[in-house]
Amino acid sequence: MTMPKENANTMRVFQGLEGSSSSQRLQAALAAGTAPDPQFIGKLIGRCAVEPEFYVREALTWALTRHSAALVVPELIDEIRSGNAQARSQALHTLSKIGDQGAWPAITRALLTDADDEVARSAWRAAAVLVPEGEEGDLARVLATQFGRGERETQLSLSRALIALGKVIAPILRAAMTALDPHVRQHAIATERLSRDPDAGFEFAVEEAKRIVALGTDGQERQ
CATH number of the domain that residue 61 is part of: 1.25.10.10
Q: Are 162 and 140 in contact (CB under 8 A)?
A: yes
Where in 51-186 does DSSP place strands (E)? none
Mean per-residue pLDDT, 185-209: 78
Whether residues 76 and 142 share a domain: the answer is no
Whether residues 95 and 166 share a domain: the answer is no
Count of domains for the chain: 2
Is 12 inside any structural domain? no
Residue 58: is its pLDDT beyond 70?
yes
Whether residues 182 and 203 share a domain: the answer is yes
Is 116 inside any structural domain? yes
Whether residues 95 and 171 share a domain: the answer is no
Mean per-residue pLDDT, 26-45: 96
Q: Are 130 and 104 in contact (CB under 8 A)?
A: yes
What average pLDDT is seen over the chain? 90
- The pTM assigned to this predicted structure is 0.87
pLDDT for the residue numbered 66: 97
130, 145, 172 - which closes a domain: 130
Residue 172: is its pLDDT beyond 90?
yes
pLDDT for the residue numbered 204: 57
Lowest average pLDDT, out of 68-72, 92-96, 174-178, 194-198, goes to 194-198
Whether residues 115 and 143 share a domain: the answer is no
Backbone φ and ψ of 158, nearest 5°: -65, -45
Nearest to 149 by CA among 137, 141, 158: 158
What is the C-alpha separation between 24 and 56, in angstroms, rounded?
10
Whether residues 117 and 140 share a domain: the answer is no
Mean per-residue pLDDT, 157-185: 95
Q: Which domain holds residue 170?
A: 136-223
pLDDT for the residue numbered 1: 44
Whether residues 141 and 124 share a domain: the answer is no
Is 5 inside any structural domain? no
**Count of CB atoms situated within 10 Å of the CB of 197:** 12
pLDDT for the residue numbered 203: 66
What is the C-alpha separation between 2 and 92, in angstroms, rounded?
40
Residue 223: is its pLDDT beyond 80?
no
Whether residues 34 and 62 share a domain: the answer is yes
Is 211 inside any structural domain? yes
pLDDT band at 216; cut points 50, 70, 90: low
pLDDT for the residue numbered 111: 98
Whether residues 31 and 124 share a domain: the answer is yes
pLDDT for the residue numbered 16: 96
Is 20 inside any structural domain? no
Is 150 inside any structural domain? yes
Is 95 inside any structural domain? yes
Is 8 inside any structural domain? no
CA dihedral 56, 74, 88, 43 (to 10 degrees): -40
What is the C-alpha separation between 9 and 3, in angstroms, rounded?
10
Whether residues 203 and 180 share a domain: the answer is yes
Whether residues 141 and 110 share a domain: the answer is no
Mean per-residue pLDDT, 176-200: 89
pLDDT for the residue numbered 197: 80
Q: What three-state secondary structure class fits 200?
A: helix
